[in-house]
Chains A and B, each alone.
Chain A
Amino acid sequence: MPIKTVDLDSEITHLSILDEKGRVDEELEPDIPEEDLLDLFKTMLLVREFDERKEKLQRQGRIGTFAPVRGQEAAQLGSIYALRKTDWFVPSFRETAATIWRGMRLEDDLVYTAGYEEGIRFTKESRDLPIAVPVASQIPHGVGIAWGIQLKGADDVVLTFFGDGATSEGDFHEALNFAQVFRLPVVFLCQNNRWAISVPLHKQTHSKTLAQKGIAYGMRSLQVDGNDILAVYVATREAIERARKGKGPTFIEALTYRLSFHTTADDPTKYRPADEVKEWEKRDPLPRFQEYLIKRGHLDRDMVKNWTTAAVIEVDHAVERFERRLDGMGRDPDAIFEHAYAKNPPYVERQRREVEDWVRARREEGGGE
């Protein structure tokens, strides 16, 4: 027979455990310790407060442009929670919730967003990469780290984040192909938030799902409700376990929505309908997680109120520390020349001295900065 159907040996499942009303599918419900559930919820409250405060600080000119998280907290926290501290976290540029979960201090994030290298703080033990602004550029890095893990015979795993727009970039496709060909311990977590700045998903791709792009590379791929923290956790945990056992990579498409702007530099009302935003506000990951915890008896309204206030206070304190640090930081030029090379060439050192002389001369003139 000349024409027959090719069996692709693949299907895409969609996983949802906690619905918009906070009702849970008990068969699929994961067994997460109460303490962890409450920690995740507290972090969600904190991230949301932090996002709002950053927007205010940006409007006041105290920090620069940033990419808000609002709406994507479950996609980030559900997945990052499944990762061990010793595993590797490869973010794009909107993973503030995941980064806070990994231990980033709020004040460091503010210092960074205010344009200072001093906000970048990694330790020798860090297994988190810095944010990557060029879309999709970090995906191959996650693959390379996973390759190293495999070569070394370690049992670590890499969790790599990116968005729907990234799936149009070559870096994404080339990285996925490598990951599957070498069967590497990496999990690709795509937050499909439906908008790449002003370009909606249907203009980004005509694929029915983003998950099927993983299928093209022979990769296990699935879709989850990205606003359902339980589903994201279950899918990511399973993918991480498979990766750890040497069973290769997984591609997870988390369906979510950017409730806020792309960055503080754009105005979403110009390009997307208010009705759509309203629809997605009903699917907000926070209230549904809250309802679930209340129904489980882990949480009551008073605790929510108190923790919301606590989040405000925590952010207040972070902002105070941030401002104190800025006062002391001045504009000394060292950060320009530090870490450019392992050892700066002589002409770069001469340039450093030139800047230092300028700064000193200005100070002596009493010109301040």
Chain B
Amino acid sequence: MAGVTMVQALNQAMREEMARDETVLLLGEDVGVDGGIFRVSDGLLDEFGEKRVVDTPLSEVAIVGSAIGLALYGFRPIAELQFSGFSYQAFHQVEGHVSRYRKRSQGRYTVPLVIRMPYGAGVRALEHHSESREAYYAHTPGLKVVIPRSPRKAWELLKASIRDPDPVVFMEPKGLYRRGREELPKDRRKVPALDGAEIVQEGEDITVVAYGAMLYRAMEAVKTLEREDVVNAEIIDLQMIAPLDSDTVNASVQKTGRAVVIHEAPRTLGVGAEIAARITEESFLSLEAPVKRITGYDVQVPMFAREQLYLPSEERILQGMRDTLAF
């Protein structure tokens, strides 16, 4: 099959950015000799050498903390954390410093680094390897939080994140790492800046908001819905959880009057809650039904034998859309 997987696309994005800009470097556990535990950095050590592709000792705090220092000095570090479940060791560096340097120095210092981390369930992994906690990061002003949906998007968004003047938490849906292939654009130099949500499919009857791995389930559910009912859904990929592009969502809802939000993260105080609040604030008079959240549950992610029961299934999404349409 032609094209590249998301793993290869991310690899290509880093390779191109490292070739373009010598201040870009990659640090993390097992990113060098091993090529990353998911092979995202395969071959980069050979190409760029161990000064720019660095196998670090085992410390999330020092990976993120020293990436801050490298960024303060003028580098553009990409810090890889092996799983989002291990990112919390470095959380105080992210909350206390990554998100605040611009503010704390009144613009003198910035830390334009990228913190990459695989996240999300669906790959039969161990405890702490399946969580979807983007809300922790999105709740921290000063950070951008980016989640790609496809190989091409991963390539484009990672490159844009590396070039972005603000720090980016780049969360990679590991369930999509090797699911499907896409061609990368012919012109590799043109990279649109990070810029909010994208309308994946236009429609008039209901707005479907999702991101990451759940976007595919949403799209499958929409296909079934459109086959069985006379309905056209507008599908929006948020792409960025922070800053949250609610303008695109509201414009859509003002057209459709109905919205569902799908994510695998827990429901309470999740991205869906914020979307619902912003729709209520700005599109209240257009609403024909309450905004529906179809999400993971408000409990710890179960061990993998039951993770599919925890994740929003196509059936649940379909039911949620039908309930919203019938309201």
Chain A 167-185 against B: per-residue CB contact (8 Å), 1 yes, 0 no? 0111100000000000000
The answer on a CB contact under 8 Å between A133 and B128 is yes
The answer on a CB contact under 8 Å between B125 and A65 is yes
- Which residues of chain A are within 8 angstroms of B305 by Cβ–Cβ distance? 114-116, 331
The answer on a CB contact under 8 Å between B125 and A64 is yes
- Judged by a CB distance under 8 angstroms, whether A308 is at the interface is no
Which of B35, B57, B124, B127 contacts A203, CB < 8 Å? B57
- Which residues of chain A are within 8 angstroms of B37 by Cβ–Cβ distance? 197, 265-266
- Which residues of chain B are within 8 angstroms of A169 by Cβ–Cβ distance? 58-61, 89
A115 to B301, CA, bound (A): 12
Chain A 186-229 against B: per-residue CB contact (8 Å), 1 yes, 0 no? 00000000001111000111000000000000000000000000
A114 to B37, CA, bound (A): 21
The answer on a CB contact under 8 Å between A168 and B59 is yes
A342 to B61, CA, bound (A): 32
The answer on a CB contact under 8 Å between B309 and A359 is yes
Which of A203, A333, A337, A352 contacts B55, CB < 8 Å? A203
Most chain B C-beta atoms within 10 Å of own C-beta, residue among A114, A137, A198, A266 = A198
Cβ of B226 to closest chain A Cβ, rounded Å: 22
- Judged by a CB distance under 8 angstroms, whether B248 is at the interface is no
Q: For chain B, what secondary structure do more than half of its interface residues adopt (helix, strand, loop), or is it mixed?
A: loop
Closest A residue to B310 by beta carbon equals A336
Interface range, B side: 35 or more
Closest A residue to B61 by beta carbon equals A170
Which of B58, B61, B309 contacts A331, CB < 8 Å? B309
A/B interface sample: 13 pairs, CB < 8 A = A65-B124, A168-B58, A171-B89, A196-B29, A196-B57, A197-B37, A199-B58, A203-B57, A266-B34, A336-B302, A336-B306, A337-B297, A348-B299
Q: B-side interface residues toward A, CB under 8 Å?
A: 29-30, 32-35, 37, 55, 57-62, 85-86, 89, 124-129, 267-268, 297-300, 302-307, 309-310, 313, 315-316
Q: A-side interface residues toward B, CB under 8 Å?
A: 64-65, 112, 114-117, 133-135, 137, 165-166, 168-171, 196-199, 203-205, 265-266, 270-271, 331, 333, 335-337, 340, 344-345, 347-348, 351-352, 355, 358-359
Contacts A115-B305, A344-B299, A358-B313 known; 13 new A-B pairs at CB < 8 A: A64-B124, A115-B307, A116-B303, A168-B62, A169-B89, A196-B57, A197-B29, A199-B58, A205-B57, A271-B34, A347-B298, A352-B297, A355-B309
